[in-house]
Structure 1
Amino acid sequence: MVTETRRAEVLPWITTAARIVLAAILFWAGWAKVTEPPALQKQAVEAYQLLPASLTGLVGYGLPVLEIVLAVLLLVGFATRFVAIISAVLMAVFIGGIASAWARGLSIDCGCFGGGGAVAKGQTKYLSEIIRDVVFLALAVWIARFPRSRASVDGLLGI
């Protein structure tokens, strides 16, 4: 049986690991997109056919920056609960977007880690992408639920 003291010692380490993993994923996703030509960033968003043309560029260019900012904040552990909630919402939006593309019969690459756009029929990976993003969502929810962690700015500030 796990004692309350042992639980209090272990939870911050689990959250620290979750913070680092989610930060690495968000950074990788953002960096892969931000280093692509802007036209490809916009094309990946357009492929979903969910937003008006006037917003696809803004989302295409802004999303990678948001992912990198969230990654840095998670890595240093600043505003951890808030950043985890924003990350969870972002993952839920990604899951919804992929599910929507799948349900509407679109044949696209999610563009989650760069690339994106139309692909040949049968080349989609919607189920695995959704499962992957559900795991990322679970990490964000864990961090939001148990935000105290080791080696964090929040800890240094006593937050």
Structure 2
Amino acid sequence: MAKSAPLYTSVAVNFRARTFSGTDVIALLARLVLGGALLLAGGLKALHPYQAAAAVRAYEILPISLANPLGYALPWVEIGVGLILVLGLFIRIGALLGALMMLIFIIGVGSAWARGLSIDCGCFGGGGAVDPSKTAYASEIVRDAIFFACGAFLLWRPGTRWSMDAMGSGRITSDLYEDELDVEEMEG
């Protein structure tokens, strides 16, 4: 007859199965912060596509023939990348796209600031010309730099047990299986 593990051993193993590393927590937070921001920004812009296109035109970087299609497409790209990150599916691809978008946004806002344009960034809807006292270029750049850092961290350490990538790779299953093996070793 097989001996069962003492209750305290089972509790310890089950508790250990639910432990996580600091990297897992940081990766989860980075995914949710960057992905959530992109979902929110894209969702707000998708509600007002004409305004999103006007916000892109206000930067005066691209010709209208490119600015308009980009303004209409950008909300949907942001929503797509945001979903990828929040769900944790293809994390490195989502992180790369998110970080690249943030870098482009930082360059765009910095360019508008350097050229003396008085515009709202249009990051979360709105956009276009504003009173010079209403510009917030420095805080917009800092915010986007934080989002960029989230994407960069995920490029370096995309793994987290709380993602669809982990489910597909069997990481969650293998973690639990290892814990079952530990119980058997303690019994033997």
TM-score by length of 1: 0.91
2:81 matched residue in structure 1: 70
Distance 2:56 2:26 in 1: 34
- Helix, strand or coil: the match of 2:141? helix
Q: How far has the Cα of 1:12 moved from its partner?
A: 1.5
* Equivalent of residue 41 in structure 1, options 43, 52, 69: 52
- Does 2:167 match 1:119? no
Displacement of 1:10 after TM fit? 2.2
Structure 1 segment 1-159 matched on structure 2, within 5 A: 9-36=21-48, 38-158=49-169
Runs of 5+ consecutive residues of structure 1 not aligned to the other structure: 1-7
Percent identical: 44
Deviation at 1:39?
2.0
Contact 1:22 1:139 in 2 (8 A): yes
Q: Is the 8 A contact 2:46 2:75 kept in 1?
A: yes
* Greater C-alpha radius of gyration: 2
Distance (Å, rounded) in 2 between the aligned partners of 1:126 and 1:106: 10
| One-letter code aligned to 2:107 | G
| SS class of match (1:112) | coil
How far residue 23 of structure 1 moved from its aligned partner, in angstroms, is 1.2
Is contact 1:80-1:147 (8 Å) kept?
yes
Question: Which letter does structure 2 place at the counterpart of 1:40?
Answer: Q
Return 5+ residue gaps in structure 2 as ranges: 1-19, 171-188
**What is the alpha-carbon distance in structure 2 between the residues aligned to residue 20 and residue 134 of structure 1?**
16
**Given that residues 113 and 137 in structure 2 are in contact (C-alpha distance below 8 angstroms), is that contact kept between their aligned partners in structure 1?**
yes
Measure, in 1, the Cα distance between the counterparts of 2:161 and 2:106: 30
| SS of corresponding position for 2:134 | coil
Secondary structure, counterpart of 2:110 in structure 1: helix
The match for 2:14 is: none
RMSD: 1.3
Deviation at 1:21, TM superposition (A): 1.5
Alpha carbons 2:50, 2:72 under 8 Å: kept: no
What's the TM-score, normalizing by structure 2?
0.77
Provide the rounded CA distance (Å) in 1 between the counterparts of 2:50 and 2:79: 19
State the alpha-carbon separation in 2 of the partners of residues 44 and 9 from structure 1. 41
**Greater RCO (Cα-Cα under 8 Å, separation 6 or more):** 1
CA distance in 2: counterparts of 1:122 and 1:17, whole angstroms = 34
1:13 and 1:150 in contact (8 A); partners too: no
Aligned residues: 151
Shift of 1:76: 1.0
